[in-house]
Amino acid sequence: MREDFLLLNPGPVPIAHEVAQAMDAPMISRRSTTFGEIYNRTIEKFEALLRRSTGTSDTSPATGDTLILNGTATMALEAGISNLVGPEDEIVALTNGQFGRRMADIGERYATVTVVETPWGEPFDLQAVRSAVTDDTALLTVVHNETSTGLLNPIAPIGEIAAAHDVQLLVDGVSSIGGAPFLIDEWGVDVAVTDPQKALASPPGISLLFASPAAQTAMVGTRGPFYHDLETYLEAAADDRTPYTCAAPQVRALDVALDRILTEGMESRIDRHARYALAVRAGLTAMGLELFPSPREEADYSPTLTTAAFPDAFDPVAFQTELARRGVSVGGGIAHLSSEVFRFGNMGELSPDEIVRGMYAVGQALRAGGADVPVSAAVAETEAVIR
C-alpha cells in the first residue's frame, strides 16, 4: 500500500503517528499500577470529552461511569442490552438503517422486541415512537448517527419519550461521540456506546460504554454472556482495572488520542467535523450527485460522513478499483444499498487538503466509470467551504 494512501471510510479512520506509536510501548500487566494509572486517566479524559460535547464553549453534565471493554462497539452494545433486559421484558428498537436494525437483532436474543421502523435514510415518526413506548417498556434503543445512511437522528425528543415512561435509553454514539454534540444528561441518555476507531481517531479493538446511575441500578450482569457481565466490570473499574486481560496497547493509544482531542478542544473539533461534512456535501452535489438521506426538519445530515447515490447503472466495484488506483478509499453501501451509494467519511486525522484530494479522486473515479461529472467545479465548491 502506498505511503500516502488516504482512508476516507467511516471507520477505521486515519490516526496520528503518536497515537500509533503509543501501541509500541513495552507490554504491561493489567494488574500493574502503571496500567491502573493509564486506565484511570483515559476514563477521566473521555468523561471530560463528554461534558464538553456541547458544540459550544459551555459544558453539560454527564452523570455516571465509563467502562473500557475488550471488543468493538457491537460487543459493547450487546453488553448494554443484555445487562438491562430479560426474557420477560420489552425493548422498543428504533430502526432507520443497518445499525438500528443490528440493535434490534441483538435485543431479540434477550427479550421481546417491538421495532419502530422507517425507510433507511428517513427520520423517525416521533408519534409512532410515542405510541410504541409504554410503562411496560424496559429499554428504548436508537442510533444517534446512522453510519449506514449518513443521517443524524435527534436524541432529545426520544429521550423525553423514554423519561415520560421511566424507560432506560440506550444510544449508539459510535460515529458521533467525538465529532458531534452529545448531551448525556440533557438528553436523558442512560447508556451510551462508542468506538475509538471512529471520531475519536484511535485504533479499533476496544469500546467505551457510559452508564448512568439509573442504568447501573437496573443492570443484572448474569442475564448476559459471562464476558459481558457489566456488574463485574464496574466492580473492577472502581479499582482502576478490568476484570479480564485488557488490550493495553489500544488503551494507551486511546489515552494519547484523547489528549489530542482535548488539546484541540471539543468546540473546535465539532466545528471542524461539521465544516468538513458541509464541504463534502457541497462537492458531491456540485457533481450532480444526490445525497442519500432525507433528513427533513426532524433530523439532519451526519457531521462525520456523507452518503451519496451513484449515477444510474454505475458499477460500484469499478468505482472502488479506480479509487484504489489513486490511493484513496471510501466506504461502500451496506446491505440493499451496496450497489446504490457510497459513503465519504471525514473522521480521523484529516487535513482540508486531504478532503479536497478525496473529492478529486471521487470525481475522477466516477468519470473513469463513464459518469459525466464536473470534477473541477466539485473541487472548487469543496475548497470554498473547507478553507
Among candidate residues 235, 264, 293, the one where a domain is terminated: 264
In a domain, 275, yes or no: yes
pLDDT at 374: 97
Residue 17's Cβ-side half-sphere holds a number of Cα atoms within 13 Å equal to 1
Looking at the structure, do residues 323 and 304 belong to the same domain, yes or no?
yes
Across the range 46-65, mean pLDDT stands at 97
C-alpha cell read off for 269: 473539533
Across the range 320-341, mean pLDDT stands at 96
Looking at the structure, do residues 279 and 249 belong to the same domain, yes or no?
no
C-alpha cell read off for 95: 430502526
In a domain, 55, yes or no: yes
Average pLDDT of the chain to the nearest whole number = 96
Integer Cα distance of 305 and 105 in angstroms: 24
Among residues 376, 379, 152, 365, which one has the least CA distance to residue 280? Answer: 379
Among candidate residues 216, 249, 264, the one where a domain is terminated: 264
Looking at the structure, do residues 117 and 253 belong to the same domain, yes or no?
yes
Distances (CA, A) of 144 to 57, 189, 279, 304, 317: 22, 11, 22, 12, 29
Across the range 107-130, mean pLDDT stands at 97
Q: Among 29-33, 132-136, 196-200, 378-382, which is the least confidently predicted range?
A: 29-33
In a domain, 213, yes or no: yes
Sequence-separated (6 or more) residues with CB below 8 Å from residue 345: 8, 9, 10, 11, 13, 304, 305, 330, 331
In a domain, 134, yes or no: yes
Across the range 338-356, mean pLDDT stands at 97
Helix (H, G, I), strand (E, B) or coil at 31: coil
Across the range 240-252, mean pLDDT stands at 94
Among candidate residues 264, 281, 311, the one where a domain is terminated: 264
**How many domains, the chain?**
2
Looking at the structure, do residues 106 and 228 belong to the same domain, yes or no?
yes
Across the range 331-354, mean pLDDT stands at 96
Long-range pairs for 100-103: beta carbons < 8 A, 24 or more residues apart: 100/141, 100/142, 100/143, 100/146, 100/172, 102/74, 102/77, 103/77, 103/141, 103/143, 103/170, 103/172
What CATH number did the domain enclosing 53 receive?
3.40.640.10
Query: Taking 90 as the threshold, does the pLDDT of residue 212 lie above it?
Result: yes
Task: Answer for the pair 72, 202: CB distance below 8 angstroms, yes or no.
Answer: no
Looking at the structure, do residues 242 and 106 belong to the same domain, yes or no?
yes
Q: Which domain holds residue 335?
A: 6-11+266-386
Q: What angle do CA 352, 354, 356 make, to 5 degrees?
A: 70
**pLDDT 10s digits, 57-110:** 999 999 999 999 999 999 999 999 999 999 999 999 999 999 999 999 999 999
Looking at the structure, do residues 330 and 258 belong to the same domain, yes or no?
no
Q: Which residue in the block uniquely carries the three cell numbers 472502488?
A: 320
Looking at the structure, do residues 155 and 181 belong to the same domain, yes or no?
yes
Distances (CA, A) of 57 to 121, 254, 270, 371: 31, 24, 11, 44
Sequence-separated (6 or more) residues with CB below 8 Å from residue 372: none
pLDDT at 31: 86
Query: Taking 80 as the threshold, does the pLDDT of residue 3 lie above it?
Result: no
Count the Cβ atoms, other than its own, within 10 Å of residue 113.
22
Task: Answer for the pair 178, 145: CB distance below 8 angstroms, yes or no.
Answer: no
What CATH number did the domain enclosing 374 receive?
3.90.1150.10
In a domain, 1, yes or no: no
Task: Answer for the pair 260, 200: CB distance below 8 angstroms, yes or no.
Answer: no
Where would I find the beta strands (DSSP E) of the chain? 6-8, 65-70, 90-95, 112-117, 137-143, 145-146, 151-152, 168-172, 191-194, 206-211, 300-301, 305-309, 328-332, 341-345
Looking at the structure, do residues 241 and 287 belong to the same domain, yes or no?
no
Query: Taking 70 as the threshold, does the pLDDT of residue 114 lie above it?
Result: yes
Looking at the structure, do residues 47 and 115 belong to the same domain, yes or no?
yes
Sequence-separated (6 or more) residues with CB below 8 Å from residue 146: 96, 97, 98, 99, 100, 121, 152, 153, 302
pLDDT at 70: 94
Looking at the structure, do residues 71 and 165 belong to the same domain, yes or no?
yes
Looking at the structure, do residues 252 and 340 belong to the same domain, yes or no?
no
Looking at the structure, do residues 251 and 372 belong to the same domain, yes or no?
no
Strands 328-332, 6-8: pairing kind: parallel
Q: Could you give the strand order of the β-sheet that contains 300-301, starting from the edge strand earlier in sequence?
A: 145-146, 151-152, 300-301
pLDDT at 1: 63
